[in-house]
Structure 1
Amino acid sequence: MTSNAVLDEAYQRLHGKGPEFGGDEEGNHGLSNHGPMAVEVMVRRGLDLDVHRWLDRYLDRLTDLPGTTEPITTHNWRAALGDPRRIGDWTVYFTGQIAEQRWKQVLTTWWPRLLPGLIAGSTHGVIRVGHAVRALRAADQDRIAATELGHGLAFWAARWRTLPGLAAPTGVRPARSALAAVPRLTEQSGFITHRLNRLAELPGWPAALAALQPADSPADVPARLADLVHAATLGYLTHGQASPVLLVHTATAPNAVRHVLPVLPTPMWVPSFTAAWHASAAVTATYAPAQPETPSAPTLGNDPATEVLDRAARHGDEHVIKFADTALDAFDHTGDPDVLAAALHTTRLIPSP
């Protein structure tokens, strides 16, 4: 069986399940379905895991995809944007659009519409889209992977929301310095929705966003995004203990944007970088502690990249697997072994399933 066939079978098993589980009646989401993202990493990276056996365990946690209420159309979609009760409607809409058009056409139509709400679902919308696009870049005509992209876009649209107090980067700080200087909420409690609302009153929030060195042209964006992923991955090593699961996404969200970038028109690149920065900074402000810690450095062997993958596979948690993938991308860009140490740090902080 080819790797694409394994991934397609895994996607098909997951497509009857919803993108979240464990939410409340007020629409606050609980946990996001990481199955599609995790299995894409397992297959692409060749992890020493039986994908279907892993799914057998994981699927028991999920709930069925919600039903539909009212069709979404080209005329009424704005009213449904950001309404989590419409996830079934959005899924039917996007999977239908992708069945009728090329997936790249659907993506480039909707990317600028969804981009201002990149924080959607704690950034899981864009992350799911990023993994689907990576699968499609490897197999452009894969119908099932294209359907997975539709599911990712649907989740992003249903959870779409904007952030308060945004400012575009205009400063001189490199990504690592800018991310470290993001102010932290003193009241870090409640769902992420509640925390993000508090950013409107956070002293220094707009100034911190503006302090980042901008991408002045599309040509600057790939390097700027890679630097942001590197900075956020290193940040987990010193701040991850405060919220081991949520702070993974400071790095995995901008890395998802990196994987989508090559299939987007270049005029979309600079806004994509800015949105990724805003999302990474928002998760940092709402979950990271004000003071870093200095954990003992994990021991790395002679083949650290392989060791990271092996340790992630043995651990088995979906966040550990996703973060290992992002850390390896950062390592490929920089050669910095500390990003691999950060990946191993997740295996200490996140309980094994």
Structure 2
Amino acid sequence: MDTTGALDEALQRLHDYGPERNGWLSNHGPMAVEALVRNGHAATVHRWLDYYRDKLEDLPRGTDPITEDGWRHAWGDPRRIGDWTAYFVRQTADRPWREVLVQWWPRLLPGIAAGATHPVIRVGHAVRTLLDDDHDHDHDHDHGNAPRTAELAHGLAYWAARSLPTPGVAAPGGTVGPDRALDGIPLIADQDGGFRDGLAQLTATPGWTAATAALRPAATPEESRDVLAELVRAATHRYATHGHFSPIMLVHAATAPNAVLRTLPALPPALWAPSLNAAWAASAAVTALYSPATPASASELPNAPTGSVADAAQEVFARAAEHGDEHVVKFADTALDVAATTGSTGSTGALVAAVRACELIDPVLRSRGN
């Protein structure tokens, strides 16, 4: 929990801005500041925001209020971002946030590719803070902290306005784990287009549907959670050897499923299997669009910091915070999640991947002399 108030102050600042800029580039501010605060860098948040706010655009005004009976007419319409935001702000103000999330989560899951997966990542960061808030203040049926419930509303709104299905995905029905399943994803023929263009090419990519079916299915909610955690771990580790082709975009193969994993505790177990399937679709799509034909060799990879897992993780995130790029910060945050759940023998791969991201992506704060 943040005892400095920095997170709530930062979220309040950010809620004056829209979820996108320069067309449909995403506003990463809420996700990055949550990761910075959570990992002990609250003192840097406002300085980081002072740099980042120059990229942002005002929140679009609403034009036509969304209603319970008419929401389908606004589904997937980015021109209605202002309307969706106003709708979800009202919903989370009037009802417990868990109730709103559980109602809308199954509606949103099929469009998890929305905004190149940024909406679901934003929702995952928001839910994590709300779960912390519930745990520490014992108000599971309360509406929670206002800036944090508002952040959930903004994330849900962004997702609804940009809903985008992933074509040609088969439900898991194979025998392999996430690491081998990711390795089996075929690359699209033309990797020069944008995310939406790439998605449109997936169904014409030989072997795409069969490759998505190769992942082993989960028989119980607990297995769904465990396979999802394996997926996050596999995608995080894989970045170290495959991130060089598209260093920024490939991070989402790990951060998107991790956002879903973070959300599971707020969802009924019946929604865990469809959550796994959607997360797999998102991770597989990002892998197909942004992986290189040839992975990097072991000799090209950096070393992780030495010392205990906790000390090494702290050092890695400190490097990410100093680096300043929002993707590096978010990916390091996911890498620390993986390291924390794999113990001393399995944490190295995740931390190496985070250090690799610091190398492959241009720094922003250091380059500004900050």
User: Take 1:137 and 1:51, find their aligned partners in 2: how far apart are those partners?
Assistant: 21
Task: Specify the alignment match of 2:171 in structure 1.
Answer: 168
Structure 1 residue 262: deviation in Å? 0.4
Structure 1 partner of 2:363: 352
TM-score, structure 1 as length reference: 0.96
Q: Does 1:248 align with 2:251?
A: yes
TM-score (norm 2): 0.92
Q: Which residue of 2 aligns with 1:17?
A: 17
Q: 1:279 aligns with which of 282, 289, 305?
A: 282
Match of 2:44 in 1: 50
* CA shift digits 1:220-252 (9 cap, x unpaired): 022111100010001111110111111000000
Contact 1:226–1:333 under 8 Å retained in 2: no
CA contact (8 A) 2:2 2:38 kept: no
Q: Establish whether residue 298 from structure 1 lines up as the match of residue 306 from structure 2.
A: no
Letter of the structure 1 residue corresponding to residue 16 of structure 2: G
Q: Is the 8 A contact 2:252 2:286 kept in 1?
A: yes
Q: Which residue of 1 aligns with 2:181?
A: 178
Deviation (angstroms), 1:320: 0.7
Structure 2 gaps of 5+ residues are 135-143, 365-370
Shift of 1:290: 2.2
Letter in 2 for 1:331: A
Name which of 146, 151, 157 aligns with 1:148: 151
Name the aligned partner's letter for residue 181 of structure 2. A
What code does the residue aligned with 1:7 have?
L
Q: Is the 8 A contact 1:250 1:280 kept in 2?
A: yes
Asked if residue 124 in structure 1 is aligned to residue 118 in structure 2, the reply is yes
| Number of the residue aligned with 1:91 | 85
| Structure 1 residue 66 corresponds to structure 2 residue 44 | no
Give the counterpart of 2:211 among 208, 213, 229. Answer: 208
> What SS does the aligned partner of 1:50 have?
helix
Distance 2:112 2:304 in 1: 35
Note the aligned Cα RMSD (angstroms).
1.3
SS in 2 for 1:297: coil
For residues 310 and 63 of structure 1, what CA distance do their matches in structure 2 show?
29
Distance 1:2 1:175, change over 3 A: closer
Decide which moves more: 300-309 or 93-102.
Answer: 300-309
What is the letter of the counterpart of residue 339 of structure 2? F
* SS of aligned partner of 2:159: helix
Per-residue deviation, residues 132-181 of structure 1 (Å, max 9, x unmatched): 00010111321110000000000000110111111000101111000011
Q: 1:47·1:309 contact (CA, 8 Å) conserved in 2? A: no
Say if 2:195 is the partner of 1:195. no
Does the aligned pair in 1 maintain the 2:130–2:148 contact within 8 Å? yes
Distance 2:194 2:2 in 1: 41
Does the 8 Å contact 1:245/1:319 carry over to 2?
yes
Q: What code does the residue aligned with 1:8 have?
A: D
Unaligned runs of 5+ in 1: 24-28
Residue of 265, 280, 286 corresponding to 1:262:
265
